[in-house]
């Protein structure tokens, strides 16, 4: 744990490794959703062009 | 609306236009301002647990449900939630009960629409103020968050700075809604939404790479890490779970006055809705978790140190208040280039807000149109109701600017909490009950008709119709124990009475709008659908 500042006597702390893990999980879930929809639309577009 | 007419009143011209307009409706100030504030207040990285659980169990299934309700309603010219729910429940529950259900949804639609849009358009007015500051180059005079906070206090406490941008924004929203929404909005969304994404990504990269613009110890990465450091003890507060679900509803526009069903009512009967709904949700989550979750506190710490973090985390200040003070310091530090970039950013930001507000006002216009009013008159009434409810937001700050705890945003914050954490949840709960598997089993076929992907049956049967209502009911039972409620309405000496009074006024308006909406729905149904199968 690391303190990055004190505001009104309350320390503001970070845990870099845990924070990174949680941020990566959040980003990954969202990116999976986005990539899945992009993949689906690309397939549909390709089929429509072929027709 | 006459009984001879069938098929939607308006139609989306293209698939891309529909998705971008729907995304424009969902992506707004909530993604860039409300979300990071909720993460900060309710557990940092640990907040992702209630947030993503709510997305999977509630967000996506209810999103599909609302698209299905809307497209179904559009075929019989039911363009807002009250008449839609009447048509959906009539077969199984009978005409009398269906009319009462329509009335309840009418009441919820009107009070959520007015309450939410009145304070939301105020916030859009604040972005208009910063757009003006950027265009005039004055933003370059601001180099630290503390200075920007000073300007923000000026906006909140001066009714001229507060009212003028708000009224102008309201008029613009009225001008877009009045002639009809699908064509004008669709064209604008095709240009503005991609620009909004490009700019948000550019700002995200800048916030993570321009790490120490003011002081070496104010490293933007530390601001980012502070936001995402899990504080699991916060999850013991029911408010974290309520706010997780509330944020999902708010950000995906679920339960918000039936704006998704209204937009979906302009879709052709055989067009895809399953993949389109999922795409809208994905775009929204990208803007929220990746862009919104990175930009606000990285820039906040880099330009203001512990002040922006402490204001939200310790003082419990509104994240809207905070983030409106963080971005100006960033643009101000860039000088002339910052003025230009700030102008573009705030105009796009303003547009993102306007597209969401347009969707809500469009629903109100549809409501009053069903009483036989012209669209322009219906829009004007909607604007007038926004104005009546929204004026206290504009003047509460002025009344309290002289006190240590002022200027007050109690009316705004209480309304935000009440709508976001309670009314949206109630609306969604009733939707899952009355449009779920047990009352409207045809909904499953409706969502998959013409679909490019297939929504699995188990999602509809178990998650949407059993787990989601139980989850939502749990949220509602938990609400009175929320630790945040008491803190929200606190004001200090010598005006301790002011906070509860402002919250009380907000509640009185809520009751009045509910009754008005109930009556409109019942009258609309009697006028348009009596005797129709």
Tens digits of residue pLDDT in B203-247: 899 889 989 988 899 999 999 999 999 999 989 887 788 888 888
Residue-wise pLDDT for B395-412, tens only, equals 887 777 777 777 777 888
Q: Residue B36 belongs to what H/E stretch?
A: helix B35-41
| Phi, psi of A4, rounded to the nearest 5 degrees | -100, -5
Percent of chain B with pLDDT over 90: 49
Contacts of B183 (CB under 8 A, 6+ apart): B10, B13
CB B487 within 8 A of CB B395: no
Chain-centre distance for alpha carbon B296: 18
How many CB atoms are located within 10 Å of the residue A48 CB?
Answer: 8
Rounded distance, CA B411 to CA B415, Å?
6
Report how far apart, in Å, the C-alpha atoms of B5 and of each of B8, B77, B78, B529 are. Answer: 9, 7, 11, 11
- Mean pLDDT for all residues in chain B: 88
Residues in A touching B281 (Cβ below 8 Å): 33
Is B326 strand, coil or helix? helix
B interface with A, Cβ–Cβ below 8 Å: 44-46, 48, 52, 222-230, 275, 278-279, 281-283, 285-286, 289-290, 293, 301, 305-307, 309-310, 313-315, 452-453
**Mean pLDDT value of segment B186-196:** 83
Give A1→chain B minimum CA distance, Å: 10
Query: Is B283 close to A34, i.e. CB distance below 8 A?
Result: yes
Cis-peptide, bond into residue B407, ω within 30° of zero: yes
pLDDT at site B285: 97
ipTM at complex level: 0.94
The CA-based dihedral angle spanning residues B52, B58, B64, B66, taken in that order and rounded to the nearest 10 degrees? -130
**Mean pLDDT value of segment B136-165:** 84
Q: Is pLDDT at B533 greater than 60 in this prediction?
A: no
Please name the residue ranges forming H helices in B220-266. Answer: 220-228, 238-252, 259-264
User: Which residue is listed with tokens 């300007």?
Assistant: B151
| Residue whose C-alpha is closest to residue B28's, from B135, B124, B109 | B124
Residue-wise pLDDT for A3-50, tens only, equals 999 999 999 999 999 999 999 999 999 999 999 999 999 999 888 888
pLDDT at site B84: 96
Please name the residue ranges forming H helices in B210-314. Answer: 220-228, 238-252, 259-264, 274-285, 293-304, 306-313
pLDDT at site B452: 95
- A11 interfacial to chain B (CB closer than 8 Å): no
Indicate the range of B53-67, B474-488, B513-527 predicted with least confidence. B474-488
**Mean pLDDT value of segment B329-344:** 85
Rounded distance, CA B20 to CA B27, Å?
10
B307: tokens are 């002040």
């Amino acid at each position: 744990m690391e303190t990055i500042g004190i505001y009104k006597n309350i320390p503001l702390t970070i845990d870099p490794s845990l924070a990174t893990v949680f941020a990566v999980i959040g980003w990954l879930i969202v990116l999976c959703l986005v990539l899945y929809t992009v993949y689906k639309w690309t397939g549909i577009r390709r089929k429509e062009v072929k027709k | 609306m006459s009984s001879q007419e069938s098929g939607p009143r308006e139609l989306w011209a293209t698939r891309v236009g529909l998705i971008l307009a729907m995304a424009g409706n969902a992506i707004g100030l909530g993604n860039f301002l409300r979300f990071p504030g909720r993460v900060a207040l309710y557990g940092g990285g640990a907040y992702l647990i209630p947030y993503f659980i709510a997305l999977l169990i509630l967000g996506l299934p209810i999103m599909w449900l609302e698209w299905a309700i809307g497209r179904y309603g559009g075929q019989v010219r039911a363009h807002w939630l009250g008449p839609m729910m009447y048509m959906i429940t009539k077969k199984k529950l009978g005409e009398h009960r269906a009319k009462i259900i329509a009335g309840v949804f009418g009441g919820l639609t009107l009070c959520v629409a007015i309450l939410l849009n009145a304070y939301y358009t105020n916030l859009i007015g604040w972005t208009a103020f910063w757009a003006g500051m950027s265009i005039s180059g004055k933003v370059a005079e601001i180099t630290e968050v503390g200075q920007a906070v000073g300007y923000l206090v000026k906006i909140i406490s001066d009714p001229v700075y507060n009212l003028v941008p708000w009224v102008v924004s309201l008029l613009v929203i009225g001008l877009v809604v009045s002639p009809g929404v699908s064509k004008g909005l669709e064209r604008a969304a095709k240009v503005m939404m991609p620009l909004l994404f490009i700019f948000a990504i550019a700002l995200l990269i800048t916030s993570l790479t321009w790490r120490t613009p003011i002081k070496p110890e104010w490293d933007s990465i530390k601001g980012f890490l502070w936001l995402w450091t899990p504080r699991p003890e916060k999850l013991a507060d029911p408010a974290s779970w309520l706010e997780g679900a509330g944020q999902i509803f708010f950000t995906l526009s679920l339960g918000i006055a039936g704006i998704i069903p209204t937009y979906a009512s302009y879709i052709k009967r055989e067009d895809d809705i399953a993949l389109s709904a999922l795409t809208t949700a994905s775009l929204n989550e990208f803007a929220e978790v990746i862009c919104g979750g990175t930009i606000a506190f990285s820039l906040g710490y880099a330009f203001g140190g512990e002040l922006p973090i402490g204001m939200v985390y310790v003082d419990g200040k509104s994240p809207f208040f905070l983030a409106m003070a963080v971005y100006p310091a960033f643009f101000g530090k860039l000088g002339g280039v910052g003025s230009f970039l700030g102008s573009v950013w705030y105009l796009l930001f303003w547009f993102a807000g306007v597209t969401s507000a347009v969707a809500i006002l469009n629903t109100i216009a549809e409501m009053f149109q069903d009483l036989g009013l012209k669209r322009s008159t219906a829009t004007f009434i909607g604007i007038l109701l926004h104005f009546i409810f929204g004026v206290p937001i504009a003047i509460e700050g002025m009344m309290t600017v002289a006190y240590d705890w002022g200027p007050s945003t109690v009316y705004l914050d209480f309304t935000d909490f009440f709508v976001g954490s309670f009314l949206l949840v109630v609306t969604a709960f009733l939707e899952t009950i009355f449009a779920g598997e047990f009352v409207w089993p045809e909904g499953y076929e409706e969502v998959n008709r013409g679909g490019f992907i297939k929504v699995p049956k188990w999602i509809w049967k178990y998650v949407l119709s059993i787990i989601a209502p139980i989850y939502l009911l749990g949220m509602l039972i938990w609400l009175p124990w929320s630790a945040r409620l008491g803190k929200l309405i606190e004001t200090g000496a010598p005006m301790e009475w002011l906070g509860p009074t402002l919250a009380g006024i907000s509640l009185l308006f809520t009751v009045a709008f509910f009754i008005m909406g109930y009556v409109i729905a019942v009258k609309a149904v009697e006028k348009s659908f009596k005797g129709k199968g």
